[in-house]
Amino acid sequence: MPTIRSIEAHHRAAISLLWQPLDGMPATGYNAERQVKTASVIKLPIFVHLALLVESGALSWDQRLTLSDSDHTPGAGVLKLLNAGLQPTLRDLAVLMMVISDNTATNLLIDLLGIDTINQRIQSLGLTQTRLNRKVFAPNTPDCLPWGLGVTSPRDIVQLLTAIVRGEIGNSTTNHFIRETLAGLQDRAGLPRGLPRDWHYAGKTGSDDDLRNDCGIITRPDGSHIVVACFVQSLDEAPSTADHPGLVALGQVAKVMA
């Protein structure tokens, strides 16, 4: 049976993992406190911040933003392919950001919310190792290095996901929407590939040429939950396919842990 260490060595990667059952069984950590590049996993706390602002009445899910040509952002998503003048709601943008990791939607929301206020929320949630550094595909500044878009740790992300599972983030309506949106994740090529078929997964991924991240909530057939954050980083760059070594490693980690 492979181990996390042997998977890490085989792929010449740096794996950071926290696997936290919520049924009283012990957690498994592997470099769980290590700070890592978030890539698009940072979109999870952005989403939580937005949802809590809507709950407070400061914003409305029905509020619309207008897409302009200058908003089009490379990478993941569909809004970059659509014409200027489109007016998606905040709910539309949040769902696009989370379920297909739409970068244009993300940047529209960051412009609306502000990086500083997002980071203030992150700190208020007790995520002391987590920070949004910039907009997606914005140039790195010295303050952004070596993390790029954002920085976090498995411990921080598991803490946030655990609070979501336990209903500690938002009222019941907000919490339900957060969990249902996480369940809509379209990218199932990482951790889910190694889980039993009858285990349900709801989460958020992140990727770059040299990394693959996957963090989420696992629900077993008996209704018990596992919260997991796994970051596979420092890989040799590889084509972005289902056979990317980071995705293969994530699946192998899930199979070992499950």
Question: Tell me, what's the pLDDT at 241?
Answer: 86
| Beta-carbon contacts of residue 229 (< 8 Å; ≥ 6 apart) | 16, 17, 18, 41, 154, 155, 157, 158, 161, 213, 215
Radius of gyration over alpha carbons of the chain, in Å?
17
Mean pLDDT by 10 residues, the chain (258 residues): 94 98 95 98 98 98 98 97 97 98 98 98 98 97 93 98 98 98 97 97 96 98 98 90 94 97
Residue 89 DSSP one-character state: B
Sequence letter at residue 138: A
| Beta-carbon contacts of residue 117 (< 8 Å; ≥ 6 apart) | 49
For 160-182, letters b (16+ CB in 10 Å) and e give bbbbbbeeebbeeebbebbbebb
216 and 161 Cβ atoms separated by less than 8 Å: yes
Question: Tell me, what's the pLDDT at 109?
Answer: 98
- What is the per-residue DSSP string for 37-60? E-GGGGHHHHHHHHHHHHHHTSS-
In whole angstroms, give the CA distance from residue 136 to residue 75.
9
Closest C-alpha to 45, from 154, 140, 156, 134: 156
Question: Tell me, what's the pLDDT at 227?
Answer: 98
Q: Spell out where the chain has E strands.
A: 14-21, 28-30, 36-37, 131-132, 150-152, 200-208, 211-219, 225-233
Count Cα atoms within 13 angstroms, Cβ side, for 76: 22
In whole angstroms, give the CA distance from residue 135 to residue 147.
13
* Domains of the chain as residue ranges with CATH: 4-257 (3.40.710.10)
Model's pTM, two decimal places?
0.97
Closest C-alpha to 40, from 123, 91, 85, 102: 102
Question: Tell me, what's the pLDDT at 193?
Answer: 96
201 and 211 Cβ atoms separated by less than 8 Å: no
